[in-house]
Chains A and B, each alone.
Chain A
Amino acid sequence: MAQFTDEELKEKVHDGFIVEYPEEMTEGYKKALIVQLLVQADTELISAPAYFGAARDAPSTNTMVSATAIIQDELAHANIAYRLLEDLGMEKEHLLYGRQPHEFKHPYGFDQPLENWAELVVANGFFDRAGITLLGDVYKNTSYGPLKRALVKVDQEETFHLRHGEMWMKRLCAAGGEAKEKVQSAVDWMFPMAIEWFGLPDDRKRHSGQLEYKLKGLTNDQLRQTWMDATVPLCERLGLDAPAHYDEEREEYVLDFPFPCQYDPDEKRWLFDEGQISWDDVFARWKARGPMNKSYVETLQEGRAFRDLLVAA
């Protein structure tokens, strides 16, 4: 069985050891890696139907091509992560077609409808930025060799998605009027959404193993700061209101809204007035899933009908 004890493995990976083979993993390591890869794969996968809904709103053929190219990339990234899970004993087939919508592990933010072009480009600007922030850290720090190598491609392509998002946010803001208002409305619900999905603050963090096993390098709060360090100045440059500012004294970004906070998915509005809520309330909302959870997953599972024909043949 396992070559190392949990303690030995934790020490080894912090000394630079790269895990390549299943027999080098402990049960704890394998479990933490599976959860990380499931969240990563499901997030890439569900971004496809989410982006597709809004890509239909593309303002030109060229733009439609870029938007669908992004969707193609996301599906390939999902495919790569599910493939890695196969080497850990899963079946891609089962993960894609054998699960209920509520068993998919993408963040609550991707259970929401993206309804127009402005929302798509802010999703590219904010959510893909969150993706790069997280996966860039994983790429730099992960102790799992196969994942590190797979992320080279992912990182190159996510950078393009981000550029697409930021460039279009800039264009719409420069146009002014209703175009800019729509960007601002998207920022209003997506900024706190991105902040929330970096997860529990460090002082509340439950023991997860991801840092101990060196599956990532930065803590949730550090990742949140990295994301704001790019996103808040972007909003300032574009004349958009973002609910956070840099605090000179504390030398970090500080949120201008109660966090965590309740969200009304029907109104697409954060209930700042109702003040801070508990993380248990957040988990309850996540667990209930957002309005698009079922339809996004079902869209992706439609292909199953033809797969069944192939298997039966």
Chain B
Amino acid sequence: MIEPIYEVFARKTREEPLHHIGYLNAPDDELARVYAWKTYDEQNWFEMNIVRRDALLSVTHHDRPRVAPRRGEAEDRLIRQTGTGSYGGSDVTDGGAE
């Protein structure tokens, strides 16, 4: 079940421009609104908008995909390797793989 991606835009005050503040997955627009409001609650936003990523028409980067191809074997190995990581984020105990 792959849910569409929505991009989230918001601004804190009337005069400031909209900023891209994040994204989420949701099965439809209504749930996307709920998820956006509940997930990005770090500010008391004056205005928040969401738009499906596939509705964004690129003007400058239409030939540049934002998403990498689906995972292959190399990525699978990374996901599958046993191991707790250090908080340093790099010392995953991989049982000697690599």
Contacts and interface: CB of A to CB of B under 8 A. Distances in A.
Interface of A: 21-23, 25, 27, 30-32, 34-36, 38-40, 42-43, 72, 76, 79-80, 83, 86-95, 99, 102-108, 111, 130-131, 134, 138, 149-150, 152-153, 156-157, 194, 196-200, 206, 208-210, 215-216, 220, 223, 283, 286-287, 289, 307, 310-311
B39 A79 contact: yes
B23 to A, nearest CB: 6
A83 B1 contact: no
B83 A220 contact: no
A159 B24 CA distance: 23
Given A31-B78, A107-B84, A311-B1, A87 B68 contact: yes
B24 to A, nearest CB: 7
B88 interface: yes
A106 B64 CA distance: 33
Contacts of A32: 90
Given A83-B23, A287-B82, A39 B39 contact: no
Q: Which of B25, B68, B81, B90 has the most CB of A within 10 A?
A: B90
23 contacts: A23-B64, A30-B68, A38-B85, A39-B87, A39-B92, A43-B87, A86-B25, A86-B67, A87-B68, A91-B70, A92-B25, A102-B83, A104-B84, A105-B83, A105-B85, A107-B86, A107-B87, A149-B22, A199-B87, A210-B88, A220-B86, A223-B88, A283-B93
Contacts of B38: 72
Given A39-B92, A88-B68, A216-B89, A289 B84 contact: yes
Contacts of B95: 287
Interface of B: 1-2, 5, 20-25, 38-40, 42, 61, 64-72, 74-75, 78-93, 95
Given A150-B22, A287-B93, A87 B87 contact: no
Nearest to A21: B64
Interface-central residue, B22, B75, B89, by most chain A CB under 10 Å: B89
A111 B79 contact: no
Given A36-B90, A39-B92, A86-B67, A149 B74 contact: no
Given A34-B78, A103-B80, A198 B87 contact: yes
A130 B89 CA distance: 12
Contacts of B68: 22, 25, 30, 87-89
B71 A107 contact: no
A196 B88 CA distance: 10
A220 B89 CA distance: 9
Contacts of A90: 71, 75, 79
Given A83-B5, A83-B25, 4 more contacts: A30-B68, A90-B79, A197-B86, A197-B87
Contact of A22 (B65, B84, B85): B65
Contact of B67 (A22, A43, A131, A194): A22
Contact of B69 (A89, A103, A209): A89
A21 B22 contact: no
A94 B38 CA distance: 24
Contact of B2 (A91, A206, A283): A91
A87 B68 CA distance: 6
A106 B84 contact: yes
A139 to B, nearest CB: 13
Contacts of A209: 90
A153 B40 contact: yes
Contact of A286 (B20, B61, B70, B93): B93
B60 to A, nearest CB: 12
Given A88-B68, A283-B93, A311-B1, A76 B82 contact: no
